[in-house]
Structure 1
């Protein structure tokens, strides 16, 4: 496949609907906040982009417009969203998101971060291995539609073309989309939760450009295995990819 012919804009079609499905349970406000926050922090709606219209978003989430307004107001107060009035108004993701709670500069490289435990690292990495390796294997075993195939490839291209400032966001989108292609609606919220925890760990270590280049090669192996319908190869490529991230996290944080 040629990247030059691949094609739609990197984010085209990669829907924020990944996480904006109906909430469940009795804590509708809290879950609405969580869904919106995950959508923003994982870059499914990028900084500066507009959220769906209030009526549509409330319907997607299955909550009242009052609950949605309360959730949006809370996230606006926390600095994640901005509400604008007028003809071109609406709710937008802030151009600059609040800083993550863990910042690499606070701890010298190679020194254990005081707020991160080995048990937390183990838990995140184990969950990621279980969920993402299985997702890659299952996605490769499905018959994907032409739009799904095109979107998977364009998501790969977006990650390969991303600069350091946006890499984590587009990387997250690619991994979440692979999860969506597994065909289980319940899987994506689980992946999103683990991904948010993973990103907090990654924020505590330096962003290494050679590692990004290596990761992009591994991404291509994963995607090609999925597109060519080879479940075992997709699972193995994903396992190797996750293993590289695990080594860095353990090296810097343990």
Structure 2
């Protein structure tokens, strides 16, 4: 693969040997949560998923069965049948908290270091390679976030922004690395909701990155992206420490 023909190519980097079924489940859930596959979209066939993930068809079948049990996908029969994303897909807040507890502060800091390196270099290359249409696509992600009414929508818009910047870098490996980092821990950036003022400030940070990319300023684009990544991880680590201290974080529902 020499390029990403669409955002739907991004989740399909090959899976290591251990825990293959669970990893297929996790990646498909995160691809749906990112909006790469939307509600009511048909997923690729079992054979196509197996080929792209580098796993056996039976592994994909087991993963889809687990997703059906969890209510994330449904199977439709007939000539136009297959596996489809359910209309009411959402990752519940309780599930996010359960996942969040699995990660130590050390894990999160390590993630933050890698995220800074990936996002910083992707932004630098994006500034060198972006077309006018690329800039508009990045701006579109920001406009979606500005109009989002809940934390879930804001989280998806933020994830799409960063994946989009990586795609504009025209580096398959950087895009796949960004996707992998987003699928592992990106959702936790929004586990603790921002108030209106903080969200507005966050959106303005995204706009400064977009502006730097549009001007072709690679050094500034990289510096701004790295700084945003560091600020994000400070927020996530603070939420994790409070979760450890109080066994909860602010907010009780997915969109609060």
The alpha-carbon deviation at position 175 of structure 1 amounts to: 0.5
Q: What are structure 1's unaligned runs of at least 5 residues?
A: 1-12, 105-112
The alpha-carbon deviation at position 234 of structure 1 amounts to: 0.7
Could you say what secondary structure the match of 1:19 adopts?
A: coil
- Give the ranges of 4+ consecutive aligned residues of structure 1 lying more than 6 Å apart after TM superposition: none
Q: Distance in 1 between matches of 2:26 and 2:145?
A: 25
The alpha-carbon deviation at position 222 of structure 1 amounts to: 0.8
* Map of 2:97 onto structure 1: 103
* Map of 2:146 onto structure 1: 160
Q: Distance in 2 between matches of 1:60 and 1:28?
A: 17
Q: Distance in 1 between matches of 2:58 and 2:89?
A: 26
* Map of 1:8 onto structure 2: none
Pick aligned residue for 1:174 from 151, 155, 161: 161
The alpha-carbon deviation at position 168 of structure 1 amounts to: 0.3
Matches within 5 A, 1:1-254: 15-20=7-12, 23=14, 29-30=20-21, 32-52=24-44, 57=49, 60-61=52-53, 66-86=58-78, 89-94=81-86, 95-99=88-92, 101-103=95-97, 116-142=103-129, 144-164=130-150, 165-202=152-189, 204-254=191-241
Deviation track 1:26-45 (CA, whole Å, cap 9, x = no partner) reads 56954544542331233321
Q: Is the 8 A contact 2:33 2:91 kept in 1?
A: no
Q: Give the 3 Å change call, closer, same or farther, for CA 207–92 of structure 1 in structure 2.
A: farther
Could you say what secondary structure the match of 1:138 adopts?
A: helix
Q: Distance in 2 between matches of 1:57 and 1:147?
A: 30
Q: Distance in 2 between matches of 1:26 and 1:246?
A: 30
The alpha-carbon deviation at position 223 of structure 1 amounts to: 1.3
The alpha-carbon deviation at position 115 of structure 1 amounts to: 5.3
What is the aligned residue count? 232
The alpha-carbon deviation at position 208 of structure 1 amounts to: 2.7
Q: Give the 3 Å change call, closer, same or farther, for CA 116–59 of structure 1 in structure 2.
A: closer
Task: Report the TM-score, using the length of structure 2 for normalisation.
Answer: 0.74
Q: Is the 8 A contact 1:138 1:231 kept in 2?
A: yes
CA root-mean-square deviation = 3.2
Q: Distance in 2 between matches of 1:59 and 1:252?
A: 38
Q: What are structure 2's unaligned runs of at least 5 residues?
A: 242-256
Could you say what secondary structure the match of 2:40 adopts?
A: coil
